[in-house]
Amino acid sequence: MDRRSFSASLAASLMLPAMARGQTAWPQGRNIRLIVPFAAGGATDIIARIMADKLGQMWNCSIVVDNKGGAGGNIGTEAAARAEPNGETFLLVSVGLATNPYLYPKLGYDPVGDFAPVSLVAMVPNMLIAGQHLPVKNVAELIAYGKANPGKLTYASSGVGTSIHLSGELFKKLTGVEMTHVPYRGSAPAIADIMGGRVDIMFDNITSSLQQVRGGTLKGLAITTAKRSPFAPELPPVADAVPGYDVSSWFALFAPRKTPPEMVARMAADTKAALADPGVKGRLDALAAESVGSTQAELAAFLAKESETWGKLIKDQGIRAE
């Protein structure tokens, strides 16, 4: 090898570690922001902080959870869509990404066109609960009671368009039972009114009401997923009495659409690895949240299916955000 070839070869070999460091350095040294389109303290926020902690450890960087609540999640979601696509901003969002286009007459973002799917993070079942005043012990008895007393049943939710609300609307559609929707600002006041006998039932997030069910202050009638939940195996699925019924709250990561594909792929792979960590899984289990982890393509297909399912229901039932 002549001196010129040797020098070129040596220079190339010296560049390789630097190139490798450059590739693996992301996101080290970055100030990464994880936008949550809801206020602090809710399920989306808690799950975001669990993920931020673990990924920050894996990447040796700081990930800041940025709560931008309001307008059913639309304010924070639009902020994420408009963020610079440089790998420094991601979005942890829930079912609103699939439902809000049908609930609101105009959005400042396109759920598909403005975002790159990263990974499905977790699934949380809802639970059909009833007040002790209601003379039913299971879903079949609830349906019979509702049909014998048309229009008498009331069901609470944590707000219009939430998975809790849509769980009730799907139940109405599949059973033909007439019920009156009573929306609240969150689950806590709704649960209080059910325990007080002012509202009859609710398809609540399992995390919010499982303790009261096991303590006997509420009745747990069923779980909303198609199969029994490992977090409440004593509860049968609603689908046992209502074929085709299957509802879960879900949480997923997205990035602004033009974020470099290699950064999105790295985030997806590391999210899946983080969700396999026993410590992360344990923290999610404590919330009755099933850790998932998915490919980007699987999340894209999942969002499309959720949009189709809930979009049709929202249109059929004439639901609009207030």
Measure CA 34 to chain center: 15
Give pTM, 2 decimals.
0.83
Q: Which two tokens stand for residue 230?
A: 């490992």
Q: How distant, in Å, are the alpha carbons of 91, 202, 305, 309 from that of 312?
A: 25, 22, 11, 6
Q: Assess contact for 36 and 76: CB atoms under 8 A.
A: yes
Q: Assess contact for 64 and 90: CB atoms under 8 A.
A: no
Q: What is the pLDDT of residues 46-83, one digit of tens each?
A: 999 999 999 999 999 999 999 998 888 999 999 999 99
Measure CA 40 to chain center: 15
Distance (Å, whole) CA 280 – CA 285:
9
Question: Which one, of 320, 289, 242, lies nearest residue 92 by Cα?
Answer: 289
Which domains are delineated in the chain? 29-123+249-317 (3.40.190.150), 125-240 (3.40.190.10)
**pLDDT digit string (tens) for the chain, length 322 residues:** 444 443 444 344 444 443 333 344 577 778 899 999 988 888 899 999 999 999 999 999 999 999 998 888 999 999 999 999 999 999 999 999 999 999 999 999 999 999 999 999 999 999 999 999 999 999 999 999 999 999 999 999 988 888 899 999 999 999 999 999 999 887 889 999 999 999 999 999 888 888 899 999 999 999 999 999 999 999 999 999 999 999 989 999 999 999 999 999 999 999 999 999 999 999 999 888 999 999 999 999 999 999 999 999 999 999 988 6
Q: What is the pLDDT of residues 13-24, one digit of tens each?
A: 444 443 333 344
- The residues with which 119 forms a beta bridge, in sequence order, are 253
Q: What is the DSSP letter of 141?
A: H
Distance (Å, whole) CA 313 – CA 43:
24
Q: Assess contact for 205 and 43: CB atoms under 8 A.
A: yes
The dihedral sign for the CA sequence 270, 271, 276, 281: positive
Cα atoms in the 13 Å half-sphere on the side-chain side of 164 = 27
